[in-house]
Amino acid sequence: RSSDLKHPAPKAKMVHWTAEEKAAIHSVWKQVDVEKDGQETLSRVLITYPWTQRYFSSFGDLSNAAAICNNPKVKAHGKKVLAALGGAAQHLDNIKSTLAHLSELHADTLHVDPENFKLLGQCLVIVLARKLGAAFTPEVHGAWEKFVAVSCAALSKHYN
């Protein structure tokens, strides 16, 4: 439509983080063990959503839950994933730039379906909730859901 040409799409808005959300994200992040929690998060993705295994064909045996959970390449990549999210957690006001290189890599080189970022984020929230128990209050949970959503959007940015 010609009216679409007259009105360009609005620019993406900056994410506003409340002091409470920032505190919740930083407080939880201090308790994250990138190696252990990264392995558990990625293992959960590969077990719960087995079609995601196609992106990890070089990882060797992913034939069952035990093989996945004990796979050193899953452990190493889970650590790498959480380290990247840790960088985003430390730069809440600049997540898009912090994750830009990973967005480009996953879009252009690895050709990962960006929906998988959401699956990983969901599994991370589950890992954190299980780990923290009652300390993972609804407020903390909400802050982490927002963080995951913003991180997923940043990782998906290069696909657009």
pLDDT digits (tens, 9 = 90+) for 87-110: 999 999 989 988 889 988 887 888
Residue 1 has pLDDT above 80, yes or no: no
pLDDT of residue 13: 57
pLDDT of residue 114: 87
Higher-pLDDT residue of 7 and 76 is 76
pLDDT of residue 120: 96
pLDDT of residue 113: 85
Q: What average pLDDT score do residues 117-131 get?
A: 97
- Both structure tokens of 57: 């064909």
CA distance 133 to 118: 22
Residue 147 has pLDDT above 50, yes or no: yes
Higher-pLDDT residue of 5 and 47 is 47
pLDDT tens sequence across 52-74? 999 999 999 999 999 999 999 99
Q: What average pLDDT score do residues 75-97 get?
A: 94
Q: What average pLDDT score do residues 130-157 get?
A: 95
* Sequential DSSP letters for 30-92: TT--HHHHHHHHHHHHHHHSGGGGGGGGGG---SSHHHHHT-HHHHHHHHHHHHHHHHHHHTG
Please, what is the average pLDDT of the chain? 90
